[in-house]
Amino acid sequence: KQIAKTVLTAGSVHAAEFAAALLLDYPEDLGCDSETCALLCEVLGLLPKGTAVGVVRKLIASGQLSALPYHRDLNLLLAKLGFEYSKSSLGPLLRASVPWVEEEEDTLRDAVVFLPGGFTRQLPDFMDLSEEVAKALASNGPVVALESTIITHGMPYPQNLQSALEVERVVREAGSVPATIAIMKGRVKVGLTESEINEIAEMGPSKCSKVSIRDIGLLMANDGYGSTTVAATMRIAAMAGIRIFATGGIGGVHRGVESTWDVSADLTELGSTPVAVVCAGAKSVLDLPKTLEFLETEGVPVLGWGTDVFPAFFTRDSGLRTSGRVDDADHAAK
State how beta strands 143-146 and 112-114 pair: unpaired
Give CA torsion, residues 279, 315, 155, 221, to 10 deg: 40
The residue annotated as part of the active site, out of 132, 147, 168, 269, is 147
Active site residue 283: yes
Show the DSSP H helices in 251-287 as ranges.
257-260, 265-272
Q: Is the dihedral angle over the CA atoms 169, 279, 159, 264 positive or is it negative?
A: positive
Show the DSSP H helices in 208-249 as ranges.
216-221, 230-240
Active site residue 147: yes
State how beta strands 226-228 and 177-184 pair: antiparallel
The residue annotated as part of the active site, out of 132, 135, 269, 283, is 283
Q: Which residues, in sequence order, are bridge partners of residue 209? A: 226
Which stretches of 41-198 are assigned E, i.e. beta strand?
A: 101-102, 107-109, 112-114, 120-122, 127-130, 143-146, 177-184, 187-190
**Which burial class, exposed, middle or buried, applies to 11 when counting CB atoms under 10 A from its CB (0-12, 13-18, 19+)?**
exposed
Query: Which candidate, 267, 274, 216, 272, places its Cα nearest to that of 240?
Result: 274
Query: Which candidate, 296, 295, 270, 285, places its Cα nearest to that of 318?
Result: 285
Q: Give the active site residues.
A: 147, 283
